[in-house]
Structure 1
């Protein structure tokens, strides 16, 4: 593994607050108990064995990134533009239905995660939100590409062998869970490069996926 901040992604300018769209599993939804149990077991393993390599993600900050709304070097969005963007996202996202994915352990180049599959519903979110951002922000929006859907459970801070981490997480049983996703959150994210963490304030907006269940 290699450090994520500064290698896998750029270090942000000081005091940056960057708007993102996150898919966040609802901790109040009883259907997600198995997912959070799995995430807690993983965090225990990472905390007790591997903090010399990585920083585990605490439960409130578990998320799957759908879009980086603007890049860290862009000027802040003013209130009228943000209001227009929120209205556009509401109209585009609320017709979509909540969906269930399967989460399974994965350790990549920059740390461990819970891989989410299948891709189709998540890819639809990326497409719909990308269109909304492009309509409102035009060329001002970042050309962000999220890659395969996943929820990061730890950010690597020191070069090291990923093999023992992968083996420990695979041995954690049951190894899979099926989270239900029913909301997309617009949040202002801060990056702490020293602590290798990302956090955010209460969401600027929550978009409920209210379409008919499939």
Structure 2
């Protein structure tokens, strides 16, 4: 089940100066918590949930403080018309019917679906079929390179011995949308049983290794492979500038920590629609990670 702080504080009723003071105190408390955990807890104990819960509270206060701005045009640049870009996506398991327990994530997505449509003047919810976690992309890729990369990644996926891939994520409202966020690499947010090959970090390394194994040419290959600073699952993109305080109030008030399991990896050609905004794709190859495929 998802975990949450026992007594969420009602930051929603605070003034801006009070929120700023609370945010500073929370940042200090998180560092104190981290130091305490490093001294007494191992990575397989309760540390990850505690750190993630602290992150959830900090993110909630930050979201109440800042305005929102369009994702496409502010966070990322619009792509040229008709352009497709090659990405490796992790597709989340939300059904819970396989070895991956998707229940807590499904519950959180259901909760958000009761909230997001009421804020369409500010955000565009991501349809269920297009939800994804970006593992990385290969810039300026060709169809031939996509085929080579798919073959190389497929061979590496067959060698994985510890699926499924999983992560602990925190629902939050950012200045550009709504998402579940894993946060920057941090050993104290890793879930019990964490291993490199069952992590999103490991999947990003798989993309780089696959590109090298595919013998994709070019001296600039290292600069063509990119992974996000923080892995996340977007549930809505902002399309119009405005205050996100009411949205942040409803999304972040519970401050849950959600275990997210990956159903499959997909190498895809992605298209961007700045008007919605939205991202859709066509598949090159997909690999089941539930052990059922």
TM-score, shorter chain, exceeding 0.5: yes
Structure with the higher helix share, 1 or 2? 2
> In structure 2, what is the equivalent of residue 10 of structure 1?
77
Q: 1:104 to 1:78 in 2, by over 3 A?
A: closer
- Which secondary structure does the structure 2 equivalent of 1:178 belong to? strand
* Equivalent of residue 103 in structure 1, options 169, 179, 182: 169
> In structure 2, what is the equivalent of residue 180 of structure 1?
261
1:172 to partner: Cα distance: 5.2
| Residues 15-30 of structure 1 mapped to structure 2, 5 A cutoff | 15-30=82-97
Once superposed, what is the RMSD of the aligned Cα atoms? 2.4
Q: Within 2, Cα distance between the matches of 1:166 and 1:182?
A: 28
Q: Within 1, Cα distance between the matches of 2:155 and 2:147?
A: 13
1:28 to partner: Cα distance: 4.8
Unaligned runs of 5+ in 2: 1-67, 184-188, 191-195
Q: State whether structure 2 residue 107 is matched by structure 1 residue 37.
A: yes
For the pair shown, which has the larger CA radius of gyration, 1 or 2? 2
| Residues 58-73 of structure 1 mapped to structure 2, 5 A cutoff | 58-70=127-139
Q: State whether structure 2 residue 221 is matched by structure 1 residue 156.
A: no
> In structure 2, what is the equivalent of residue 92 of structure 1?
156
Deviations 1:31-54 (CA, angstroms, capped at 9, x unpaired): 213312311321320111x11111
Q: Point out 4+ residue stretches in structure 1 off by more than 6 angstroms.
A: none
Contact 1:43 1:57 survives alignment (8 Å) = no
- Which secondary structure does the structure 2 equivalent of 1:101 belong to? strand
Provide the TM-score with structure 2 as the length reference.
Answer: 0.62
Q: State whether structure 2 residue 117 is matched by structure 1 residue 47.
A: yes
> In structure 1, what is the equivalent of residue 249 of structure 2?
167
* Equivalent of residue 133 in structure 1, options 198, 206, 211: 211
- Which secondary structure does the structure 1 equivalent of 2:86 belong to? strand
Query: Which range is displaced more, 27-36 or 191-200?
Result: 27-36
Q: Within 1, Cα distance between the matches of 2:270 and 2:229?
A: 19
1:197 to partner: Cα distance: 0.7
Q: Within 2, Cα distance between the matches of 1:41 and 1:163?
A: 18
Unaligned runs of 5+ in 1: none
